[in-house]
Structure 1
């Protein structure tokens, strides 16, 4: 009888492996899958296309075959597997740009090697890796800033239809999307609720893109985009203030300041809406990433309730919206 074999360390080695994840991220950064699908399939041709060392690239390609990302197609030639196709630009989940080491999120992921520092000190790993905070890095690097805005816009666009249909937004007269980026979420909500008006508030760069998107959607008569920071005074008097995937990017002190600004603008008659991942299972991966990138937190409903209470708000409802949830908060009674 053949001896039964088990994974090394009972599977711990595979779970802790850093090499294969980095090999896949390098493949994403070099756009190897796109080149191969386009017909550049040999080591020599790929090395020329991506300006890489031929010998080392060949060794990387062979490991990607072992990892199931590529398949061998004869002598020093490669095809893309079903899994590897997710590394092509244009795939619905946008994994290539997420894994791209030179993009905003892939760049931030490299800081996870300093998780020990974060655990010991509570400080973000990003600052330990790069010497400045995540948001300072984006301010100093236009390409990474554009990458971040594009990735967040694409992610929100995926979730926006469920959010638009998950709450009766049409009951409101005016919704302000606070930190609304390029307007993807607000435009989807407006499209589903024709009597609603909307405003995007964000920094000047995203606001310019939101204004163009609003115009392209034909909603200039129902929506606008105004520059501003969610740490400053917000346009007052709207029925709703939306924070979509915002609070988890900040530590508790900053998140409370953001919510306080929304509460001030909403006063006693409006609502504050928080859209994020809230379910029965702790979002442990997301929580640690937010901590390492920003010093942030992926809140549970209970933690959000405590944060809201500190600024005079209370949760009045939580409704599912696809993978996300819409939490409505109002002034405490």
Structure 2
């Protein structure tokens, strides 16, 4: 018997169709390439006339060869287009990396901006899941809110980005609510005052108080002075973990509680309960997923961010009801979804 007969090779497993999807979901190269592009202001420089690699390397103070490899990938993923040899233009997708674009996404990507910076803490998601806590401090040595409050540049980029997305939500929320019986609003943790300003634009006879930390409180005062609203709004420096500075027939909490653990959120809600006047109500503006069979990836992504940044969480309607019960309140209405999936939940004392 011949020993020279060919032997069969083991079969090579054919890649399943899901392989490409998994690799796309697992890719870290493209997200980081976008962050570098945002930080280098590549699209801004191209729009200003630096279309070739030599010009881009000079204006960004980058190594030409490594920049060329970055640009090549951005072309491959259709963020940039090479319209002629060594001549680059942003695509419609790439234009979102321009600082002056009305829907700019730079604040979410550039690590010199607060959220772009915070997202890099997700490299420690292993620890967050294992240990059950926030990991922003693991990355940077300080707490998220300390950086927002103590660093004027990071604080400004944070509140500007939040305002960019939340103003549409506030417009919709204000249109939904009946304001005729409201005399005094207390906006708890109201950043630099966009919600109160939106309310007073519709109902200028209402008086208002804004409670915030010193940094955003100062920004709010400046905005109210500029808008000639300072005589209608009292801005108080303080913490919502302390007893609130005044009572009100309407208290607003917009995108505050998702920043905090359940225990801390109940503390804040109890302070609001104590500050509500008889027959008063609390307007809570937050995402409130209705526990669908298939979770929304935007909701779950936001939830991971809240966990990693500061140990907070996005909550379903049922979870909001549990917090309300613990704070001596009950939910009496929930709006339809507004922009970005936000809802207005109206709470009253139990």
TM-score bracket, shorter-length normalisation:
over 0.9
Distance in 1 between residues matched to 2:316 and 2:62, nearest whole Å: 45
Which has the larger displacement, 228-237 or 296-305? 228-237
Partner of 1:306: 322
Q: Structure 1 residues 172 and 267 mapped into 2: Cα distance closer, same or farther (>3 Å)?
A: closer
Partner of 1:63: 73
Q: Quote how far apart the aligned CAs of 1:155 are.
A: 2.3
CA RMSD of aligned residues (A): 1.9
Indicate the SS of the match to 2:306: helix
Ranges in structure 2 where 5+ consecutive residues have no aligned partner: 1-13
Partner of 2:4: none
Give matches, 1:163-182, under 5 Å: 163-182=173-192
Partner of 1:45: 55
1:235 pairs with 2:245: yes
Indicate the SS of the match to 1:170: coil
Partner of 1:288: 304
Partner of 2:172: 162
CA contact (8 A) 1:23 1:64 kept: yes
CA contact (8 A) 2:149 2:213 kept: no
Q: How big is each residue's C-alpha offset from its partner over 1:61-84, in whole Å with a ceiling of 9 and x where there is no partner?
A: 111000100001333221010100
Give matches, 1:111-130, under 5 Å: 111-130=121-140
Larger Rg: 2
Q: Quote how far apart the aligned CAs of 1:93 are.
A: 2.8
TM-score normalised by structure 1 residue count: 0.93
Distance in 2 between residues matched to 1:319 and 1:138, nearest whole Å: 31
Q: Structure 1 residues 172 and 216 mapped into 2: Cα distance closer, same or farther (>3 Å)?
A: same
Which has the larger displacement, 12-21 or 314-323? 314-323
Q: Quote how far apart the aligned CAs of 1:312 are.
A: 0.8
Indicate the SS of the match to 1:41: coil
| Aligned partner of 2:346 among 316, 328, 332 | 328
Q: Structure 1 residues 225 and 86 mapped into 2: Cα distance closer, same or farther (>3 Å)?
A: same
CA contact (8 A) 1:243 1:273 kept: yes
Distance in 2 between residues matched to 1:215 and 1:321, nearest whole Å: 33
Say how many residue pairs are matched: 329
CA contact (8 A) 1:202 1:228 kept: yes
CA contact (8 A) 1:214 1:224 kept: no
Q: How big is each residue's C-alpha offset from its partner over 1:18-58, in whole Å with a ceiling of 9 and x where there is no partner?
A: 00011011111111111111111111111121222221111
Give matches, 1:190-229, under 5 Å: 190-229=200-239
Q: Quote how far apart the aligned CAs of 1:321 are.
A: 6.0
Partner of 1:316: 332
CA contact (8 A) 1:71 1:79 kept: yes
Distance in 2 between residues matched to 1:93 and 1:230, nearest whole Å: 32
| Aligned partner of 1:88 among 85, 98, 102 | 98
Distance in 1 between residues matched to 2:225 and 2:170, nearest whole Å: 19
Partner of 1:141: 151
Partner of 1:77: 87
Indicate the SS of the match to 1:277: strand
Q: Quote how far apart the aligned CAs of 1:92 are.
A: 2.8
Distance in 2 between residues matched to 1:135 and 1:239, nearest whole Å: 29
Which has the larger displacement, 297-306 or 229-238? 229-238
TM-score normalised by structure 2 residue count: 0.88
